[in-house]
């Protein structure tokens, strides 16, 4: 059980808001979407409606309709999902800012890393939407040209999964996409090699779960998008972060704008080192974690990663009920 810290948070004198001891904002990505996401905040907050208006104007999409009404099949298409989830992430971030809640660290899972860039002051909200919209288009294009699959492997450590992957790679494209927790690893690649690794993992007692995705994300099968996306990144102004951000590719902090741009260019086809990123936050003695956006994926992973006696407070922030709980307990 994770302990609750009842001491009052420190105050951020610059903003007049709260910085909850040492805190981190975590931003979800693909897989966290649901029909209705963001709707409660949209109804309650002018700043949220402004985020949606900005995103719809930037992406030239009816994002509010997709988020609030679906259907799920349309929402889940990566070309729609990426700007939709990111808009909801930014909307939830706007609520926290409106309520005077600050943070020390941030990170985002794959797609969510773009929201983290905005939260850290690296890119504007408009450029965040521009980037994820283009990223979704390019990934969709590559997925139509290269059939791919992704499976979650549950129950084996990363070293054993790496060995299985290395043994199958001569037969086709397969690699690790996400190291999510100690015993949850996602593999990606061409369908047959992915299925082969899953079968070998099952022989070792692991559970393999096919994921409902339209492409082999974080694999060389979408390499065709990488250079074009780097050219898009080159046109965007990046600033040095105002907050510490831990990056997927390196599982480390970077403070140089050019280096961050390079990391984001490499992120498309490289593994998400989420487990190592959360270990980094643990070493930094983060006490309060807030999943800023739809779903509970990252909070669930965090509870698996942190030791039972680690004094963490873990919150989700995607609707009014969760916000009320958070605001009540933050002091």
**Which residues form the catalytic set?**
110, 218
DSSP state of 15: T
Task: Order the strands of the 184-189 sheet from edge to edge.
Answer: 174-181, 184-189, 149-154, 207-210
Task: Order the strands of the 17-19 sheet from edge to edge.
Answer: 10-12, 17-19, 101-102
- Here the tokens at position 237 are 């102004």
Give CA angle at 243 (32, 177), nearest 5°: 40
Q: Is 38 left (phi over 0), alpha (psi -120 to 50) or beta?
A: left
- Here the tokens at position 93 are 């971030």
- Here the tokens at position 58 are 């930037």
Give CA angle at 254 (139, 225), nearest 5°: 15
Smallest CA-to-CA distance from 12 within 4, 2, 23, 1 is with 23
Residue that is written with structure tokens 């975590």 in the block: 26
Smallest CA-to-CA distance from 10 within 22, 25, 27, 28 is with 22
Q: Name every residue whose Cβ is closer than 8 Å to that of residue 124 and which is 6 or more positions away in sequence.
A: 118, 237
Indicate the SS3 state at residue 214. coil
> Cα(274)–Cα(260) distance, rounded to whole angstroms?
17
Helix H or strand E segment including 266: helix 257-267
């Amino acid at each position: 059980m994770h302990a609750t810290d009842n001491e009052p948070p420190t105050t951020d004198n610059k903003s007049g808001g709260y910085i909850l001891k040492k805190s981190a904002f975590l931003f979800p990505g693909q897989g966290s979407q649901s029909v209705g996401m963001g709707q409660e905040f949209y109804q309650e907050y002018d700043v949220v409606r402004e985020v949606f208006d900005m995103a719809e104007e930037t992406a030239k999409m009816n994002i509010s309709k997709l988020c609030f009404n679906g259907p799920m099949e349309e929402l889940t298409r990566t070309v729609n999902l990426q700007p939709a989830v990111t808009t909801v992430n930014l909307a939830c971030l706007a609520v926290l800012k409106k309520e005077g809640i600050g943070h020390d660290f941030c990170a985002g899972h794959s797609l969510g890393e773009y929201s983290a860039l905005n939260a850290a002051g690296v890119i504007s909200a408009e450029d965040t939407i521009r980037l994820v919209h283009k990223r979704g288009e390019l990934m969709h294009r590559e997925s139509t040209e290269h059939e791919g699959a992704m499976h979650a492997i549950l129950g084996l450590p990363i070293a054993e999964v790496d060995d299985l992957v290395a043994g199958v790679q001569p037969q086709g494209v397969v690699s690790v996409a996400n190291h999510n927790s100690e015993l949850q690893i996602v593999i990606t690649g061409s369908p047959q090699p992915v299925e082969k690794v899953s079968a070998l993992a099952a022989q070792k007692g692991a559970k393999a779960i096919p994921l409902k995705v339209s492409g082999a994300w974080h694999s060389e099968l979408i390499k065709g998008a990488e250079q074009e996306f780097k050219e898009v990144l080159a046109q965007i102004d990046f600033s040095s972060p105002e907050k510490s951000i831990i990056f997927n590719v390196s599982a480390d902090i970077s403070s140089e704008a050019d280096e961050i741009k390079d990391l984001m260019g490499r992120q498309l086809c490289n593994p998400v080192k989420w487990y190592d990123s959360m270990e980094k936050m643990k070493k930094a003695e983060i006490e309060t974690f807030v999943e800023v956006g739809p779903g509970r994926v990252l909070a669930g992973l965090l509870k698996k990663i942190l030791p039972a006696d680690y004094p963490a407070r873990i919150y989700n922030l995607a609707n009014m009920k969760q916000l009320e709980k958070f605001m009540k307990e933050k002091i």
